[in-house]
Amino acid sequence: MHKDKKIMDIKCKIEKKRKELDKAILTLHKSAEILALSKELDLLIEEYYELAE
């Protein structure tokens, strides 16, 4: 019986860590997306100022 409880506890911890990992991956994707959009914006601003000169 004790072994079953330990297995269930570990299973719950695994599920919790998987959810944390999924959340971290989504956050990472958002960060990467923000960086990409920021770089695109910088390039457009640079192009704008070059043309405006």
pLDDT, one tens digit per residue, over 3-44 is 899 999 999 999 999 999 999 888 888 898 888 999 999 999
Distance CA 53, CA 48 (A): 9
pLDDT of residue 53: 84
Distance CA 11, CA 44 (A): 49
DSSP string, the chain: -HHHHHHHHHHHHHHHHHHHHHHHHHHHHHHHHHHHHHHHHHHHHHHHHHHH-
Distance CA 30, CA 51 (A): 31
Total structural domains within the chain: 1
pLDDT of residue 29: 85
The parent domain of residue 48 ranges over 1-53
pLDDT band at 45 (very low <50, low <70, confident <90, very high): very high
At residue 1, does pLDDT exceed 80? no
